[in-house]
Structure formats: C-alpha cells, structure tokens
Structure 1
C-alpha cells in the first residue's frame, strides 16, 4: 500500500507538470490568459476578411466587465450595426430577427487552465449569411453559462466562418 508521503509527492509532481504544460501552451507566461477573451481564438478569420473591412477595434462590453472585438465596419442598413458586445444570444437573435445559418463550437485555450471557472472555456462562432460572423462564449469547463457576444466580424462574404 502506498504511503501518504509518496502519494503527496506524486500528486505534487503531477500538478507541477500540468502547470508547466499550460505555461508552454501560453508561451511561457505566468499570467493567466484572461486577455484572450477579446479576440476569437482562430487568427485566420481576420486575415481572410476583405481588405476594406480588415480594421479591428477593441470595445468594452455593455457592463464594462470585459473587452470584445469588432472587425470591419457595418454596411449601411446592416442588422449587425445594432449589436453590442455583451449581448446574450437571445438578444442577438431577436435583434437580427432570425437564427444563424451555421455555427460550430471549439475549445479556447482557457479550457486547460487549472481551476478556471469562467464561462469562456468554449467558444461558439456563428455565421449570418450576408452579414458576417459573431463569436460567443460557449460555457465553462463544467458546463454552465455562456452565450455572451465577444466578437463581431462584418464580412458579408462569409469568409470569416472557418469551421
């Protein structure tokens, strides 16, 4: 039978190894990766957008608790023009008057931060044809809430959607 001291030593080594792996994934930074909430994880959508709409700006959420990203400019008459960072999915669908044409989810890098209990361990990107793409938080590691708008990409061609 394993003694308590051996168990504690093995547990400590395992935990330190996991922390080292997280530091390697985040570029060796010892700071939590909380600044990535403003931008969608894949960098490709911004690069594939047309040159006229490739400008990016960081915008505070409605309640001021986090930053979001808006890429490009809304076309005149676009329904995306009325969207605000921090809206929930229901508000967005009500404002746009329809459900998205396509969507997919993926894990953000925050999924691997030990003891991360935020709602951004997963992300969801949705495509509205003729308008562009929206990025939402997809929930925490243990499930839970999500659905906060964190990114708007004004790209009517749909090139922003990269499943």
Structure 2
C-alpha cells in the first residue's frame, strides 16, 4: 500500500499545477458573457412583485408603451385584459417535459407576439396541462425578431 503513496502524491502535484494556471487569468476573462436576445438586447433577470416567480426582460419598454404596464408573474388573462389581445401565439416544450413526474408549470411555454412591441413568454403548464399561463419573459422588440415559430 505504501508503494501507491508516491504515485498519488505525483498525481496531486500535476493536478495542482494545472489548476494554478487557471488562477492567474485576468478579471476580464472571468466575467460571464451577458446573454443577448434575438433582438440584440441584453437580457436581465427580475423577480415578480410577490417574489415567487423569476423571469427575464430584454430591452426597455418606452414609458407610454403597452409593455411598460407589464410585470413578470402576471397571468395571461391579466395581460390580455390590460394590454389587449396578441397578434399571434405558438407553443413549445421545454426539457422539463421529459422529467418523470415533473409537477411544475414550465414543461411547456407559449410565446405571444404583439406587433410593434415584441414578445411575451408564458409558462403553459406541465405534461397534464395543469398550471401555467404565468408571464416569465418580456422581449421588447418592435421588429418582432423574438417571434420564431
């Protein structure tokens, strides 16, 4: 057993030397890349007013726009009542769809297009279509690049 100690020590030294090179990188190299939306706007993470929902916003809505009245965590019915009907909507599945017995509301998503404003992303429920319809992303994109069915 004592014959393995020098081999283990040598392996540990090689690992330590390889990680030492990583520690000498500059701060610019360590900073994570800022995520960008299809429109080119930076994406920032926000919390709903009640703190239960984490969402994203890309771009900044004009103060007098319909999107300026929206908050992450709002229900689809609230949004339609507040800013009017959407011009188009499509849905897609997320990877959570394949988690056995996933009971969350984010196995599917719906993306609604508001022409001249951008896109809104809602949770669309789980495998059994339960839950969902919660606003989790606001893309301020008047050109509509965010809408890609």
Calculate the TM-score normalised by the size of structure 2: 0.73
Residue 149 of structure 1 is matched in structure 2 by 135
Aligned mates of 2:65, 2:126 — CA distance in 1: 32
Residue 62 of structure 1 is matched in structure 2 by 49
Aligned to 2:77, the other structure's residue is in SS state: helix
What CA RMSD, in Å, does the superposition of the two structures yield over aligned residues? 1.5
Moved more, 75-84 or 118-127: 75-84
Aligned mates of 1:131, 1:76 — CA distance in 2: 12
Residues 1:134 and 2:120 are matched in the alignment:
yes
Which structure's residues are more often helix, by fraction? 1
For structure 2, the residue ranges without an aligned partner over 5 or more in a row are 1-34
CA contact (8 A) 2:87 2:113 kept: yes
- How many angstroms does 1:115 deviate by? 1.6
Aligned mates of 2:110, 2:67 — CA distance in 1: 17
CA contact (8 A) 1:85 1:149 kept: yes
1:84 to 68, 71, 93: 71
Aligned mates of 2:92, 2:107 — CA distance in 1: 9
Residue 97 of structure 2 is matched in structure 1 by 111
Aligned mates of 1:140, 1:67 — CA distance in 2: 18
Aligned mates of 2:104, 2:42 — CA distance in 1: 29
CA contact (8 A) 2:53 2:72 kept: no
Aligned to 1:126, the other structure's residue is in SS state: strand
- How many angstroms does 1:67 deviate by? 0.8
The number of equivalent residue pairs is: 115
Aligned mates of 1:62, 1:109 — CA distance in 2: 27
Residues 1:124 and 2:137 are matched in the alignment:
no
Deviations 1:11-61 (A, max 9, x none): xxxxxxxxxxxxxxxxxxxxxxxxxxxxxxxx9x81x30x4xx02110002
Aligned to 2:144, the other structure's residue is in SS state: coil
Aligned mates of 2:64, 2:142 — CA distance in 1: 12
